[in-house]
Amino acid sequence: MRQAHTVEQVRAAETALMATLPDGVLMQRAATGLAHAVLDLLTPGTYGRRVVLLVGSGDNGGDALFAGAVLARRGLAVTAWLLADRVHDDGLAALRRAGGRTTTTPPATRPDLVVDGIVGIGGRAGLRPDAVAALEALRGVPLVAVDTPSGVDVDTGELPDDGHHVRADVTVTFGTHQVAHLVDPAARAAGVVHLVDIGLGPHLSAPAVEALRADDVAALLPRPAPDAQKYSRGVVGVRAGSERYPGAGLLSVAGASCGLAGMVRYVGDDAVLALVHRNHPEVVGDGRVQAWVVGSGSGDGAAGTLAAALDDGVPTVVDADALAHAPRDRDDAILTPHAGELAAMLDADRADVEARPLAHARRAADAFGCTVLLKGRRSLVVHPDGRVRANTTGTSWLATAGAGDVLGGVVGALAAAGLDPFDAAAVGAWLHGAAATHAARRGPITAGDVAEALPTVLGDVLRQSAS
360-380 mean pLDDT: 98
Whole-angstrom CA distances from 337 to 17, 94, 209, 403, 429 are 41, 52, 20, 12, 13
Whether 390 shows a pLDDT value over 70: the answer reads: yes
Whether 466 shows a pLDDT value over 80: the answer reads: no
Dihedral sign computed on CA atoms, order 161, 164, 169, 170: negative
When pLDDT is cut at 50, 70 and 90, the band that residue 65 belongs to is very high
CB-CB contact of 263 with 231 (8 Å): yes
Residue 154's pLDDT is 96
340, amino acid identity: G
CATH topology of domain 2-211: Rossmann fold (3.40.50)
CB-CB contact of 201 with 179 (8 Å): no
Whether 316 shows a pLDDT value over 80: the answer reads: yes
317-342 mean pLDDT: 97
Cα distance between residue 268 and residue 282, in whole Å: 16
The CB density around residue 43, as the number of other CB atoms within 10 Å, is: 9
Burial of 161 (0-12, 13-18, 19+ CB in 10 A): exposed
Residue 69's pLDDT is 98
Residue 125's pLDDT is 83
Cβ neighbors of 43 (< 8 A, separation 6 or more) are none
Give the domain ranges of the chain: 2-211, 214-466
Domains 2-211 and 214-466 share a fold: no
Residue 467's pLDDT is 64
Q: List, for residues 224-269, the tens digit of each pLDDT value.
A: 999 999 999 999 999 999 999 999 999 999 999 999 999 999 999 9
| CATH class of the region 214-466 | alpha beta
Nearest to 105 by CA among 121, 89, 81: 81
DSSP label of 8: H
**Portion of the chain with pLDDT greater than 70, in percent:** 100
Calculate the average pLDDT of the chain: 96
Q: List, for residues 153-204, the tens digit of each pLDDT value.
A: 999 999 999 999 999 999 999 999 999 999 999 999 999 999 999 999 999 9
358 φ/ψ angles, rounded to the nearest 5 degrees:
-65, -45
Cα distance between residue 404 and residue 305, in whole Å: 18
Q: List, for residues 337-359, the tens digit of each pLDDT value.
A: 999 999 999 999 999 999 999 99
What is this structure's pTM? 0.95
